[in-house]
Amino acid sequence: MTPEILLEFWFAEGPDTARPVWFRRDDAFDAALRENCGALRPAPGWADTPHGALALCLALDQLPRNLNRGSSAAFARDAEARAVARQAVLARRFDLALTPTQRVFLYLPFEHAEVMADQDLSVALFEGLRDHPRHAAPGGSIDYAWRHRSVIERFGRFPHRNAVLGRTGTAAELAYLSQPGAGF
C-alpha cells in the first residue's frame, strides 16, 4: 500500500476538510478503515516526504486508535508516531508543506503523549494554527490541545486509559472520570 491510498481514504472530502468521524466512535468508519487500510504496512521511505510522513503518522497514531478501540493496542505505537512526527515537524518542517487540517495529524502524536514536554510542544504547534478559524474556534484543535495538556499537568497521564492499560486509577482520577465529558 502506498501513502497516497491512506491519505485518499483519510482525507476523502479534501485535504483541508475536517471529518467528524475522525474524533468520535463510528463503527461504519472503523469498518471501512479496516477494509481499506487494515492491511497497511508502511514501507521504508515514507517519512522522507511531507505526505509520506503524514501517512506514516496516521498509520502509527490514528489507525491503531480506530482499529483497536478499547484495548492497549490502541496506544502501542504512540512512541513511534512521536518519533516520526518529531523528525517531520522539528527537523524537516514538513508540516509547512501541508494544509492546516493535515498538520493536525502531525501534531496529534504530541497531544496524545503522557509527557509534559510533548504536551507543551503540542500546544505550541497547535497555537500556530490560530489564524485558521476552524482550528481556533471553541472546541477546535487548539482548544483540544490545551485540554489534553491540562489533564497531563493535573494527573501526569490520561486517566481514561487506565483500564485498558491495566493501571489503577487514583481517587482524584476516578472523581475526574465521573464528571460528564471527562476523557477524550
Give the model confidence (pLDDT) of 108-159 as tens digits.
999 999 999 999 999 999 999 999 988 999 989 999 999 999 999 999 999 9
Instruction: Tell me the mean pLDDT in the region 104-110.
Output: 98
Render pLDDT for 70-87 as a digit per residue (tens, 0 to 9).
999 999 999 999 999 999
Q: Above 80 in pLDDT, residue 1? A: no
CB 56 within 8 A of CB 46: yes
CB 85 within 8 A of CB 109: yes
Question: Residue 169 is placed in which grid cell?
Answer: 486509577
What is the CA 112 to chain-centroid distance, rounded?
A: 6
Q: Report the percent of the chain where pLDDT is more than 70.
A: 99
Q: What is the DSSP letter of 42?
A: -
Fold of the domain built from segment(s) 3-177? 1.25.40
Q: How far is C-alpha 170 from the chain's CA centre? A: 25
* pLDDT in the model for residue 72: 97
pTM value? 0.95
Q: How confident is the model at residue 39 (pLDDT cuts 50, 70, 90)?
A: confident
Tell whether the model's pLDDT for residue 9 goes beyond 80: yes
Give residue 40's identity as a one-letter amino acid code.
L
Q: Which of 152, 140, 155, 55 is nearest to 106 (CA)?
A: 55
For 104, other C-beta atoms within 10 Å of its C-beta total: 25
Band of pLDDT at residue 184, cut at 50, 70 and 90: confident
d(CA 32, CA 20): 15
